Amino acid sequence: MDTTLRDGAQGEGISLSVEDKLRITAKLDALGVAYVEGGWPGSNPKDVEYFERVQKLPLKHAKVTAFSSTRRPGVTVEEDANIQTLVHAGTKVATIFGKTWDLHVFQALETTLEENLAMIRDTVSYLKKQGLEVIYDAEHFFDGYKSNPPYALETVRAAASAGADWVTLCDTNGGLLPDELSEILGKVKESLDVPLGIHVHNDGDLAVANTLTAVKNGAVMVQGTINGFGERCGNANLCSVIPNLEYKMGFTCLPPGGLALLTEVSHYISELANVTHFSQQPFVGMSAFAHKGGIHVSAVSKNPVTYEHMDPALVGNKRRVLVSELAGLSNLKYKAKELNIDIQFESPESRKIIRQIKELEHMGFQYEGAEASLELLLKKAFGQHQDYFKLESFKILMEKREDDGILSEAMIKLKVGKETVHTAAEGNGPVNALDNALRKALEQFYPEIKAIHLSDYKVRVLDEKDATAATVRVLIETTDQEATWSTVGVSENIIEASWQALSDGITYALYKKYSKEKKAQS
């Protein structure tokens, strides 16, 4: 059960439109997720709209579920606006969370232990009578159990005897250790006969381990989010839980073919949530199968199993070999092979390019985060390169008066084939102005440029001792609908470095598009 759209959306910096939520639902369905928790219709009008529109989505695998709390203390279920909105959401499944922890009953609900049990019973049995499948989330189950074991067990028995189809044990505060979890889970199984779920947060950096422990001990539903989005440190990351369960532990989570979609789904959802994808993320991250140390690279070229715990293709990811100062010739050989460039490493031509790359790296170029620049460099060195535009000149002007902001403008003059284009644009700074002017100049020749945008811009001062006269490295990430690529520029002048990375980023987009078309024609 994925709760990216409900619990995940409570993560800092995450805000999803209804449109985003519908697209994510369809994507999770394609992945093969069994339950998608779409939101809390009682909490905001956006979620009400989502539940209306999601009914028209043709879903193959996923049942959509709406979330709510148990009824409020002292009112009937029929009087409770939250519960009524939930029923009107039109889903076939409802998730209800209720209180386990006596402290929460007293301090958050400000009611009695007995009334809390009645709230659970009334809500679950009412929803069952409406014909819904009911998932009961026992909030703070483990903290509650530690505080008052008999009462904690009473709350989940109340849900089960009222007809809940599932009881999910939650580590809402995320501080649980795996050993505590398996001990408490054992006690629950002794006194409850209903399919169990697990829902944990990652505050102790143990959400994945706790989830796996719960499954090993009998839990049959896992709640989590894509990329571990969620309140504070997030929820259990399904992108880590699923491959561990399927590949390492032999459980089945997704329909056949699902696992190989995981990397794509993970990146897609980060893109829609407007969150930079965490490159170190296990299984699906950009760096998850990236090799940097020379010893690692040389061993991996002989046999990948030497430094990989699994075949990256199983989760739809790719092996990457980073060309860096720590690496040797083997990295470059590997890279050329991957790019389908035939390099005879003993030829004078190859020796020249290797020398050139070493000099560039010595100057501060770093191709490990800028594979598109490396590819362009290699293509150029081996005559497989084409100029899509040529810079004649650019000029940038910045002006500041007293306490006003700075006005930044760029003029640019390019040759595209035989034509000359000369234009100007403003920006939020010199690089942004230059970027805007370059795009403006090229759009009439290459309209596809409209679809690509810069998604990351990093500046690194290489030799800090020289301060503002130091060498600067700029790394730029460019994105279209399908892919993301990185380019690099190095100079003592930040604008020159930015220009190199910017123009490589756009050249690579054009090269990708037109070399594809060429291939399609031939």
Q: Which of residues 187-246 bind a second copy (CB under 8 A)?
A: 202-206, 208-209, 212-213, 216, 228, 231-234, 237, 240, 244
Nearest to 145 by CA among 108, 183, 115, 179: 183
Radius of gyration of the chain (CA): 28
Q: Is residue 396 a contact residue for a second copy (CB under 8 A)? A: yes
CA angle 152, 155, 157 (to 5 degrees): 110
Least distance CB 391 / a second copy (angstroms): 6
CA angle 17, 19, 24 (to 5 degrees): 95
- Interacting positions 35-74 with a second copy (CB under 8 A): 43-44, 69
Calculated CA dihedral for residues 265, 267, 273, 279, nearest 10 degrees? 140
Q: Is residue 151 a contact residue for a second copy (CB under 8 A)? A: no
Q: What are phi and psi of 317, to 5 degrees?
A: -100, 180
- Interacting positions 154-183 with a second copy (CB under 8 A): 172-175, 177-179
Q: Is residue 422 a contact residue for a second copy (CB under 8 A)? A: no
Task: Decide whether 184 or 343 has the Cβ nearer to a second copy.
Answer: 184
- Interacting positions 444-483 with a second copy (CB under 8 A): 453-461, 463-465, 467-470, 472, 476-477
Task: Decide whether 86 or 502 has the Cβ nearer to a second copy.
Answer: 502
Q: Is residue 282 a contact residue for a second copy (CB under 8 A)? A: yes
Please state, in angstroms and rounded to a whole number, the distance separating the CA atoms of residues 264 and 11: 21
Beta bridge partners of 224: 2
Number of Cβ within a 10 Å radius of residue 173: 17
Q: Is residue 137 a contact residue for a second copy (CB under 8 A)? A: no
Calculated CA dihedral for residues 155, 160, 166, 167, nearest 10 degrees? 20
Q: Stretches 23-31, 121-129, 330-338, 493-501: which one binds a second copy (CB under 8 A)?
A: 493-501
Please state, in angstroms and rounded to a whole number, the distance separating the CA atoms of residues 284 and 357: 29
Least distance CB 319 / a second copy (angstroms): 10
Least distance CB 154 / a second copy (angstroms): 20
Task: Decide whether 65 or 210 has the Cβ nearer to a second copy.
Answer: 210
Task: Decide whether 347 or 391 has the Cβ nearer to a second copy.
Answer: 391
- Interacting positions 307-366 with a second copy (CB under 8 A): 307-310, 322, 324-326, 366
Instruction: Give the start-end residues of each E strand in 181-270.
Output: 196-200, 221-223
Task: Decide whether 52 or 203 has the Cβ nearer to a second copy.
Answer: 203
Task: Decide whether 172 or 350 has the Cβ nearer to a second copy.
Answer: 172
Number of Cβ within a 10 Å radius of residue 489: 26
